[in-house]
Amino acid sequence: MSAEPLLRCQGVVAGYEHPVVGPATFELFRGEVLGLLGSNGAGKSTLIKAITGHARIFQGRLDIAPGIELAHHRQQPVRPAECPLSGYDLVTLTGASRRAPPAEISRLLEGRVDQLSGGQFQILQIWACLGSAAEVVLLDEPTNNLDPATVEALVKLIRQDQAGRTLLVVSHEASFIDAVCSRVVSVSA
């Protein structure tokens, strides 16, 4: 890990019309997988949105290293309805087509995105982030809709194929957090 973090949250209080989370303090260093833990409604997704500029910062300071590109996998990614976009089109848009995806994902590339199952769409969206060139990937509840075998494939993807990638992960699945995170921090309102 480098001495300077890629991302630093110092006493950040974030929310929408009103604050809903914080103050939160943590740093994300290059090459680590940091987990954000907290109960339902604690504000984990809001903190991620504050990092991407989709939630308001009321107090504290958020620093992102200059020139750092972020990829954000949302808790409930929006799927285009009735749209002839293929899986390959989707990963091309994010730049993730430059890397060869694992077999669990490559078989989803030919079909239309609007015809994938919920879990198939979820893992394809995760690949759209992980396979991109972004230096920091924010994964909000990546195991939603995934069956145990696909969760296992995702763990392998993060630990082996993507080893050394800088990730910020929100998940309620303790076993997933244990399997992929090198460090965790707690978040509360």
Chain residues binding ligand ATP by CB under 6 A are 16, 20, 38, 40-46, 75
Strand partners, 152: none
Please report how close the Cβ of residue 160 comes to ligand ATP at its closest, in angstroms: 28
Q: Which DSSP string corresponds to 121-182?
A: HHHHHHHHHHTS--SEEEEESTTTT--HHHHHHHHHIIIIITTT-EEEEE-S-HHHHHHH-S
How far apart are CB 159 and ligand ATP at their closest, in Å?
24
Q: Which CB atom, from 38 or from 131, has the smaller least distance to ligand ATP?
A: 38
In whole angstroms, the minimum distance from the beta carbon of 49 to ligand ATP comes to: 7
**Calpha distance 2→171 (Å, rounded):** 26
Q: 92 or 145, CB closer to ligand ATP? A: 145
Nearer to ligand ATP, 21 or 180 (CB): 21
AA letter at 154: L
